[in-house]
Amino acid sequence: ADICFTSTTVPKMLVNIHSRSNTITYKGCITQMNFFLIFSVVDIFLLTVMAYDRFVAICQPLHYMVIMNPRLCGLLVLLSWIVSVLHALVQSLMVLQLVFCTDLEIPHFFCELNQVVHFACSDTFPNDIVIYLATVIIACCPFAAILYSYSKIVSSICAISSAQGRYKAFSTCASHLSVVSLFYGTSLGVYLSSAVTENSHSVARASVMYTVV
């Protein structure tokens, strides 16, 4: 998912740098945006599922193999992909209904949904509603679930008497927590800040953190 997510933006960005041409076709822009939405949402859901996995492993270790069985894991991954594809399909179809003026310049290094919608010449109110609803349901709710999982994990770790046990429990979460902070924290910050600031170039620079780094 991470490789595909990065591959939707970085190759085109490198081509633009090499050719010194920042153009992209309309079909290419819609295609890039569609795949970017799919893999970014998949990442969000998988990070949430991994947080639940860590929660069960630390808070209910004796029941871990029973709860996190292969069937449940497969179902969670399948649901993540289905929701991601449906979300991307809805957003892309709504963008296709918009009318765009010629010679547009998107102040971003890829076809980001908000930037594309805001440069349409037709009414974008329905698109804005769907975007913000999707942000709350698909981004904020999983992030709240991650925070809840880690609040329980921290309380369980604090209850461990030995320092070695606390270190071992925390080390199982360190890699996941760092990815959540880097990807989820910056991406959520970018989309929330874009709603209150007009400095699109600073938003684009911040987007590099979760799309490339």
**Sign of the CA dihedral with 153 first, then 50, 170, and 137 last:** negative
Residue 32 reports pLDDT greater than 60:
yes
What gap in Å lies between CA 106 and CA 23, rounded to an integer? 10
* Total tally of structural domains belonging to the chain: 1
- Average pLDDT value for residue range 146-153: 93
Quote the percentage of the chain above a pLDDT of 90. Answer: 46
Query: Which of left, alpha, beta for 20 (phi over 0: left; psi -120 to 50: alpha)?
Result: left
- Average pLDDT value for residue range 26-45: 94
0.75 surpassed by pTM? yes
Q: Could you tell me the CA-to-CA distances from 203 to 16, 166, 186, 212 in Å, in that order?
A: 19, 38, 10, 14
* Helix, strand, coil percentages in the chain from 3-state DSSP, rounded to 5: 80, 0, 20
Its domain, for residue 40, covers 1-210
- Contact call for residues 172 and 43 (beta carbons, < 8 A): no
Q: What is the per-residue pLDDT across 92-126, written as a single tens digit (0 to 9) for each? A: 999 999 998 877 788 788 898 988 898 888 899 99
What gap in Å lies between CA 47 and CA 52, rounded to an integer? 9
- Contact call for residues 6 and 68 (beta carbons, < 8 A): no
- The predicted structure's pLDDT at residue 148: 95
- The predicted structure's pLDDT at residue 202: 67
**What CATH number corresponds to the domain at position 121?**
1.20.1070.10
Residues 6+ apart with CB under 8 A from 152: 55, 59
Q: Could you tell me the CA-to-CA distances from 41 to 30, 45, 127, 140 in Å, in that order?
A: 17, 6, 18, 12
